[in-house]
Amino acid sequence: MSILVILGHPDPGSFNHALAAAVCDALAWVGHRVVFHDLYAEGFDPRLPATEISETANLPAVIARHCRELRAAEGIVVVHPNWWGQPPAVLKGWIDRVFRPQVAYRFDEDDGGEGIPVGLLKARAALILNTANTPPGREAQVFGDPLQALWERCIFNLCGVNQVARRTFAVVVTSTLDQRQRWLKEAREMAMALFGDPVS
């Protein structure tokens, strides 16, 4: 099974990087084909230019490659911090440029774009791993957990991925080494439970 793993955090020493590495290693260990992108390290440009808006646009090679990998993915993992109830801008820009019409979704031929899109992604599941410095109870009570709605309903369900699992690890800034080790174990277990045996 081909699993696309996307990381959006600028600090190579971050716990997000540790989460991404743990998941990639676990999936590769059992035989999944892991396609990994560290968007910051790769210098991914999040700005969507006007020349890419058209469905028939001639895409830059790097964007075309990301689109092919997204279409081919049988599972997707996204790792990022919760910043202001949103993903970092580089990750939002990745969505803007890669989750394109005719790649992630389409509209019926007689639809001018005002109707309900049809999801095109073949990934059977998506796993979202977030970090935060806001306690989960406060996040849900005060802010309503906007990342859940964003990833599940606004992005993945719309694009045809109906099984979406998400976990927020918090509070990172006050966590101990033992706590982070338990979180890494949990992340590995979530990935294995969601994507399972690569030959199944």
In a domain, 162, yes or no: yes
Domain encompassing residue 93: 2-195
Question: pLDDT confidence of 22, banded at 50, 70, 90?
Answer: very high
Number of structural domains found in the chain: 1
Average pLDDT for 45-61: 97
d(CA 151, CA 76): 12
Is the per-residue pLDDT at 133 higher than 70? yes
pLDDT recorded at residue 116: 85
Question: Is 159 within a domain?
Answer: yes
Query: If you average pLDDT over residues 171-179, what whole number do you get?
Result: 97
Query: Residue 86 in 3-state DSSP?
Result: strand
* pLDDT at 108 (0 to 100): 84
CATH number of the domain bearing residue 102 = 3.40.50.360
Q: How far apart are CA 44 and CA 41, in angstroms?
A: 8
Quote the pTM value.
Answer: 0.95
Q: Summarize the confidence of residues 177-198 as an average pLDDT.
A: 95
The string over 67-89, giving b where at least 16 C-beta atoms fall within 10 Å of a residue's C-beta and e elsewhere, is bebbbebbbbbbbbbbeeeebbe
Whether the predicted pLDDT of 130 surpasses 90:
yes
